[in-house]
Structure 1
Amino acid sequence: MLFVVPVLDYGLITHPVWAAGACSAQHSSVKGDVSHTAGASSCFQKAEELVVHSRTSPFIASSSVSRLSGAVLKERHLDTLGDVAERLPNVSFTTTTQSNPVIMMRGLGGTEDETSSLYVPFVLDGVPMMSLAMGQIFDLDHMDVTRGPELTKGPNAFGGMVSATSRDPGDKFGGSLDFEYGTGNRRRAVMSNDIPLGPNTALRVTVGGEVADGYISNRFLDRKDTAGWHSWFGRLKLLHKDSAGGEWRVSLHHVLNHGGNDYFATPEMALHHKSDNTSRGTNNNDYWAGSAQYHRMFSRKMIVDVALGGNATKWNFQLPESVFSARTGFNMPTRQAGGTITLSGSSGTLDWRSGVYGQEMMRDTPYLFDMSPYYLSNTTAVLNNANVAGFAELGWHFSPSWRLVPSFRVEHNQWSMSHWSALQEASVPQSFALLQTLPKQTASRTVPLPRLKLEYHPQTDAGVMQFGWLSYTRAYMPPGFSPHSVMAATAQTPFDASYGNNLEIGYRLHDRKDKWSAEVIGYSNLISNLQVSTSNANGESVVATAAKAHTRGMELSGTLKPIRTLALSGFLGLTYAAYDRFVFAGQNFSGQQLNGTPKSSFGFSGTWTPGDGWSVNVNVVRRGRTNLYPSSTLVNDPYVLVDAQIEKKWRWWNIAVYGRNLADARYLTRGLAVGQAVAANPRLLGLRVGVTY
């Protein structure tokens, strides 16, 4: 039996990928790429099918997934997670800088830079990472963006998950070198080399750098580089295939980004990319990550996948003093380590997946707000989270067209906050000093999380493949602490865990000749104790909980290939996300839309490949009206993003002219209650020249 999972390969072209269920055909073990089956069986006699076999799962679960290939990320110049998010249905982001986006899905997310709660975890080569410090996206094989809760893919995902896979080394010596130049005096160079070390071993080395002046004109300093940056990034990846059929992958990643922080201004000035801040500020990221993966298929009844690793990051964030008339910022190091061990297989009408996941995270969270002699606040805290989970999933093909999939996850979280202190003092107009400290605070929770899915895939000789599913998932976000609280009574009170009851229904159609496809997905998530970043009556930055909230909506997508050289696609995303019952700091937010969430987004694209190495692609996306995160007093009006590229390829060379945000849409990505805002980047025009060898 086969079930179809069309994966959106943006920009915005949808390509179907088929995954084997209970077939007896031998599976290829390629790394999430599409390949033909090695042998024929009764499952594939009706039509030549494609099989995808992922190292991290023996079958691909039914869900709302957008897959962006490494080639698409490069060609569309999607250089950060924020660039990716605003070009997908029901995905958004908030950010205070050019390189530190926080992803939000279906109305959920945004608190990662205030606490360590993760609505949308980010996974690189199977290991959870801190997405805030990622900076540059480079040399990826593909990126999967999954909307909705996920229980059996390692980390627990309340709102969704972003999973990136770096590119494997090739078995022949070769590589590529790319140069780019764009507006904002943006210069970028990336070199990748595949180096065979033996018949079964190869190394891939990628190094790159980027320098830009940024897009802010500071009138006070008479400079145009106060939001500029320079970064270096690189990756070493070793692939070894042993004699027993196992695949070993070891990766080391590093990103170093130094830049200015002249992003906050009044909305009017921010939208025109102007500033009158009195200093440049600081936005520096230093990111190290390592991962080790092992995959082996003993038989169809036993497949082993292991992913272990960790990362160490340091984020130095200092605002220009004129933003708040105070010295404001932090130096926040984070250390994470963990991984997943999974066993999976299939036999007859059954398939299964089980595993264990564990992770420990430690983050220093100091915060300085110094407007001496009038007021000074200096808080320190160390957050630690240890969580372990076990999960299992069983698929039963109880008829040729139907599959029932119950799954279960048990998760234990242990949160602690230590070394908390808060100093408040002033000498004008009256002198006072208050120093508070707390002993180590802890909060723990163990929760069972069930999921049940029913899948439908009729086996017919018709030219149209069909696949549908209905699922229920119990979602969970652990409790925690607000480290930036300035009062001991607030800091020592943990915020509650969040729970969601998520229903999803989806149906897909796909032409076997790859001429067209269509997909419709509807969802509803009823949430209790939704975690929200806000400020209380004392001006403390805290995580509060909305007693009741909900998100519901739908996602439509389709593709059409009228002729061999032209591919068209489009999508529509609708989300209504609101508080049902939320009263905080004397204000009633009940009925208000969740911040950072456009009610609608839609887009279309076309790619034309007339031959002789030429290709032309155009993407257009419209984003609806949005209340800015975290402040609901600032609003983005609807805006349209237009991206395009013309590329010519020869045997060794390629050259491309590209534009991103060609209509020069002006919109904001962050808003504060004091009226300050951060604007998105303006129009980007550029030239890329590359050579392969």
Structure 2
Amino acid sequence: MHATILLTRSTAVRLGLTIGLACLGSTMAHAGEVPGKRGASGEIIVTARGRAEAEIAVPDTIAVFTQADIVTRRLKTIDDFIAATPGIFMIHDQDPGTNLISVRGVSTNRSQSPSIAYIVDGLALPDSELFTLRPYDLARVEILKGPQGALFGRSASGGAVNMTTNDPTGEWGGEAAMGIGNGMTWTADGVINAPVSDQVQLRLAGSYRNSDGFIRNSFLDKKVDGSISRNLRLKARVVLSETSTLKLRLGWANEEGGAAYISSGNITSLYGGRLSGKALTNPFGDFEGRASREWWGAQATLEQELGDDLRLTWTGGYDDYHKDFVEELDFRNDKPLTFFGVPAFPNGIQPISQPIDIRAWTSEVRLTSRDDGPLRWHAGLFFQRLERDRTDDFGPLLFGAEALLAETRSNQIGAFAQASYDIAPTVEATLALRYDRDRRKEDTVGTTSGGVVAQRARTFEKWQPKVSLAWRPTNDFTAYLTGAVGFKAGGFNPLPGPADIFQAVFPAETTRSLEAGMKARLADGRVRLSLAGFVTDYENFQNTVFLGNSVVLSAPQVDVHGIEASAEADLGAGFRADAGMAWTHSRVGRYTTPNPTPEPGEPAILDLAGKRTPNAPDWTVNGGLGWQGEAGPAAINARISAAYVSRVDFEIDNILHSPGYVSADARIGVTVGAWTFDIWTQNLFDRRWAISAFGQQQLPLLLGLGPNGPFDSFTINTGRQFGASAAWRF
């Protein structure tokens, strides 16, 4: 069987230019070394390719956050990890579960499958709604960039986030922490590790956060982004025999608070679409959006050693999730609202409700070679059943019609294998291949009558190869070339009418990427460098447009290429510096579409070739300087960091956009005995920017609303946050 990665001639030329600018024995983990921590060899150990090995040996771009990084950088949410990783960008939009993640220009579309796989404790999360559940008691986080479909399957077309929580250990102990911050924000976190016996170990962890919020609605005269988050997790490790171990995990999360705290204004006409300065007003709608959600999940993992050469691993899990979400759609307090000058909504456009229910069963079995010989391999099977129900109750916009419920069912099966072979003492070749088949069906029914409005079914399938060649003349240097394919399943739009420009079913996305890079360790490991150039052919980009409801219009081609670099250095005297930058050029290659909001004098067909893809900034840069030292009995850990994000376009027409911005964070921690005290701040200089936006040129409703319309809508960031905490380790 041959795995072929196809690239166009123009792609090859761009790759040559990119790598020309960028530059151009398997280092396995030593016995006893722990993933996510520095091992005896001085290396950071990761599991990005399904086995523990040195990060420098992996022919991919990986951002690794160890336990020490998580503490010193104060990384508390998935947003924090992504903001600290160049080349990846996240929008946390409208409510706690809705998010859009872009990796190297490969973007997630709203309310559909994600473009990035999210793995927690070895199990893939079934839906992007679960991505923003609060992480806590973490062992490490690995973020892989570029298509990762060969290992993680569909929805890894842009990359993967691999998050691991702490397992129980054989020592009694724990930690309790409390914090306070502005916005009357209170936090409490705790961990108890309890070895019941030599064979059974337990770990209970919890996290609580309660905040009044930071964004004030000027009409309601109250903060509208307050929230409460409650989280618990129990893990067990049971040694069944000398060769067999069972791991169990139970998790629960409950959140409630403000949502859709969206501002409104004619940004397109008054400010040319630029969301900055005077354009960034507080929300002033007359309806307070609210959201609440609850999740619980269970996971079991069985690890069985088969002799000295093989390990069999099975993991299975169940997720149950429910979210209630209610908002307005005009984000104004005018009464009555007009539509193209005609009084249409005497009480505004409210309430709008979109509850979501998710149930998922996931299972994977994997057989892995255990030796460190010239051939290292693993193979496995994957299954996931996803049931997703979403109600679209658009209130006054239904004009008396019943709300519709979309019942989506997905059965995904996957088979995968990967083998790495040392074809020479300093050269490793890796071949991976995965087949995914996603059978989807969606029934749209009336919530009152139960009548069937539409029924659709489609199977999306793809072979996803990955080929890597790595040259390692020493344990301190790796140069590599990697080619990979990824895909994201297609889906279903609302049933179109005779005059609608969208199709009932939109196709799957496909990414074909080629990356060349190098990783080096200098000065006896005190300096670490990495550099990579990449080019991606991106087909059938699923662009979301609001035409009465969220619909996907596929752009046939997007051209992406870029360069990334990172550095980390131990400067001596307790100082340590790190920096990273990513330049990603993501542009629509060819895409003509009917004008969704035609006005007199405007063309009926829009040519959007050359436009920036939404939510994909060209530049993301960050850097930090830390210091560790002692002052008498106290150990001090301090860090200051800054991040830059260039222009962000929120829609494919590139009208509404946020100009580039810089934010800075700082933290100082003092440890005395078992106690640690922190003082911290995020967005130190209180910079304001827009984190999401809907434009009148993409949403006909906003174009026609009045009086004093048309309007655009946008969400602003929270501004500066600061606080202090105390933790006791026992």
Is the contact between residue 623 and residue 638 of structure 1 (CA under 8 Å) also seen in structure 2? Answer: yes
Counterpart residue type for residue 151 of structure 2: K
User: Quick check: 1:562 aligned with 2:571?
Assistant: yes
Counterparts of 1:591 and 1:50, CA distance in 2: 42
Give 1:125's aligned residue.
121
Give 2:403's aligned residue.
378
Counterparts of 1:555 and 1:576, CA distance in 2: 12
Please point out which of 475, 482, 493 is paired with 1:471.
482
Is the contact between residue 598 and residue 626 of structure 1 (CA under 8 Å) also seen in structure 2? Answer: yes
Per-residue Cα deviation, 1:64-94 (whole angstroms, up to 9, x for no partner): 1111234433443333222222221011012
Going by fraction, where is strand more abundant, 1 or 2?
1
Please point out which of 608, 617, 620 is paired with 1:598.
617
Deviation at 1:255, TM superposition (A): 1.1
Is the contact between residue 154 and residue 339 of structure 1 (CA under 8 Å) also seen in structure 2? Answer: no
Deviates more, 1:55-64 or 1:242-251: 55-64
Counterpart residue type for residue 692 of structure 1: R
Give 2:627's aligned residue.
608
Matches within 5 A, 1:299-338: 301-320=309-328, 322-323=330-331, 325-326=348-349, 327-338=351-362
Is the contact between residue 280 and residue 690 of structure 2 (CA under 8 Å) also seen in structure 1? Answer: no
Give 1:190's aligned residue.
189
Counterpart residue type for residue 51 of structure 2: P
SS in 2 for 1:676: strand
Give 1:293's aligned residue.
301
Counterpart residue type for residue 28 of structure 1: G
Counterpart residue type for residue 63 of structure 1: D
Please point out which of 634, 650, 659 is paired with 1:628.
650
What TM-score do the two structures reach when normalised by structure 2? Answer: 0.83
Give 1:274's aligned residue.
282
User: Quick check: 1:547 aligned with 2:556?
Assistant: yes
SS in 2 for 1:132: helix
Counterparts of 2:659 and 2:506, CA distance in 1: 33
Per-residue Cα deviation, 1:198-233 (whole angstroms, up to 9, x for no partner): 113211111231110111112222222x21111211
Deviation at 1:623, TM superposition (A): 0.8
SS in 1 for 2:70: helix
Give 1:58's aligned residue.
51
Give 2:591's aligned residue.
582
Give 1:14's aligned residue.
none
Inter-CA distance 422–579: structure 2 relative to 1 (3 Å threshold):
farther
Give 2:582's aligned residue.
573
Inter-CA distance 692–631: structure 2 relative to 1 (3 Å threshold):
farther
Give 1:684's aligned residue.
721
Is the contact between residue 337 and residue 359 of structure 1 (CA under 8 Å) also seen in structure 2? Answer: yes
Give 1:427's aligned residue.
none
Counterparts of 1:564 and 1:297, CA distance in 2: 45
Inter-CA distance 517–53: structure 2 relative to 1 (3 Å threshold):
closer
SS in 2 for 1:82: helix
Identical-pair percentage = 18
Deviation at 1:321, TM superposition (A): 5.9
Counterparts of 2:445 and 2:497, CA distance in 1: 10
Deviates more, 1:269-278 or 1:357-366: 269-278
Give 2:32's aligned residue.
28
Deviation at 1:269, TM superposition (A): 9.8
Inter-CA distance 257–435: structure 2 relative to 1 (3 Å threshold):
closer
Matches within 5 A, 1:412-451: 412-421=437-446, 437-451=452-466
Counterparts of 1:480 and 1:323, CA distance in 2: 30
Is the contact between residue 22 and residue 351 of structure 1 (CA under 8 Å) also seen in structure 2? Answer: no
Counterparts of 1:671 and 1:319, CA distance in 2: 16
Counterparts of 1:486 and 1:314, CA distance in 2: 31
Inter-CA distance 440–498: structure 2 relative to 1 (3 Å threshold):
same
User: Quick check: 1:496 aligned with 2:507?
Assistant: yes
Is the contact between residue 119 and residue 163 of structure 2 (CA under 8 Å) also seen in structure 1? Answer: yes
Is the contact between residue 545 and residue 553 of structure 2 (CA under 8 Å) also seen in structure 1? Answer: yes
Inter-CA distance 306–34: structure 2 relative to 1 (3 Å threshold):
farther
User: Quick check: 1:394 aligned with 2:419?
Assistant: yes
Is the contact between residue 60 and residue 482 of structure 2 (CA under 8 Å) also seen in structure 1? Answer: no
SS in 2 for 1:214: coil
Counterparts of 1:362 and 1:515, CA distance in 2: 49
Counterpart residue type for residue 690 of structure 2: L
User: Quick check: 1:648 aligned with 2:641?
Assistant: no
Is the contact between residue 259 and residue 327 of structure 2 (CA under 8 Å) also seen in structure 1? Answer: yes
User: Quick check: 1:407 aligned with 2:417?
Assistant: no
Is the contact between residue 542 and residue 554 of structure 2 (CA under 8 Å) also seen in structure 1? Answer: yes
Deviates more, 1:94-103 or 1:234-243: 94-103
Give 1:4's aligned residue.
none
Counterparts of 1:400 and 1:317, CA distance in 2: 58
Is the contact between residue 247 and residue 301 of structure 2 (CA under 8 Å) also seen in structure 1? Answer: yes
What TM-score do the two structures reach when normalised by structure 1? Answer: 0.87
Q: RCO (CA 8 Å, sep 6+): is it higher in 1 or 2? A: 2
Please point out which of 666, 685, 692 is paired with 1:663.
685
Per-residue Cα deviation, 1:9-35 (whole angstroms, up to 9, x for no partner): xxxxxxxxxxx9487x97337455444
SS in 2 for 1:613: strand
Deviates more, 1:516-525 or 1:270-279: 270-279
Matches within 5 A, 1:212-291: 212-224=211-223, 226-266=224-264, 274-291=282-299
Counterparts of 2:279 and 2:679, CA distance in 1: 26
Give 2:102's aligned residue.
104
SS in 1 for 2:394: strand
SS in 2 for 1:371: helix
Counterpart residue type for residue 400 of structure 1: P
Per-residue Cα deviation, 1:162-217 (whole angstroms, up to 9, x for no partner): 12111112312211111111111111111111111111321111123111011111
CA-atom RMSD, angstroms?
Answer: 2.8
Is the contact between residue 481 and residue 491 of structure 1 (CA under 8 Å) also seen in structure 2? Answer: no
Give 1:151's aligned residue.
149
Deviates more, 1:604-613 or 1:130-139: 130-139
Deviation at 1:270, TM superposition (A): 9.9
Counterpart residue type for residue 617 of structure 2: P
Specify every segment of 5 or more residues in structure 2 that has no aligned partner in the other structure, as ranges. Answer: 1-24, 265-274, 333-347, 595-604, 696-701, 703-711
Specify every segment of 5 or more residues in structure 1 that has no aligned partner in the other structure, as ranges. Answer: 1-19, 37-47, 424-433
Counterpart residue type for residue 602 of structure 1: V
Counterpart residue type for residue 241 of structure 2: S
Is the contact between residue 59 and residue 469 of structure 2 (CA under 8 Å) also seen in structure 1? Answer: no
Deviates more, 1:506-515 or 1:321-330: 321-330
Is the contact between residue 263 and residue 270 of structure 1 (CA under 8 Å) also seen in structure 2? Answer: no
Per-residue Cα deviation, 1:527-586 (whole angstroms, up to 9, x for no partner): 2212111235xx442112111112111110011212151111111110011110112223
Inter-CA distance 420–77: structure 2 relative to 1 (3 Å threshold):
farther
Inter-CA distance 688–630: structure 2 relative to 1 (3 Å threshold):
farther
Counterpart residue type for residue 560 of structure 2: T
Per-residue Cα deviation, 1:231-290 (whole angstroms, up to 9, x for no partner): 211110111233223332211111100101252112679975722221222111211122
Per-residue Cα deviation, 1:361-386 (whole angstroms, up to 9, x for no partner): 11112112222686767332111111
Is the contact between residue 312 and residue 366 of structure 2 (CA under 8 Å) also seen in structure 1? Answer: yes
Give 1:80's aligned residue.
77
Is the contact between residue 502 and residue 553 of structure 2 (CA under 8 Å) also seen in structure 1? Answer: no
Counterpart residue type for residue 283 of structure 2: S
Inter-CA distance 218–70: structure 2 relative to 1 (3 Å threshold):
same
Is the contact between residue 642 and residue 662 of structure 1 (CA under 8 Å) also seen in structure 2? Answer: yes
SS in 1 for 2:680: strand
Inter-CA distance 360–630: structure 2 relative to 1 (3 Å threshold):
farther
Please point out which of 131, 138, 146 is paired with 2:136.
138
Is the contact between residue 484 and residue 514 of structure 2 (CA under 8 Å) also seen in structure 1? Answer: yes
Deviation at 1:438, TM superposition (A): 3.6
Per-residue Cα deviation, 1:131-172 (whole angstroms, up to 9, x for no partner): 424332211111111111113434331001112111112312
Counterparts of 2:279 and 2:79, CA distance in 1: 18
Per-residue Cα deviation, 1:373-418 (whole angstroms, up to 9, x for no partner): 8676733211111111111112121111111112211111101101
Is the contact between residue 117 and residue 152 of structure 2 (CA under 8 Å) also seen in structure 1? Answer: no
Deviation at 1:437, TM superposition (A): 4.0
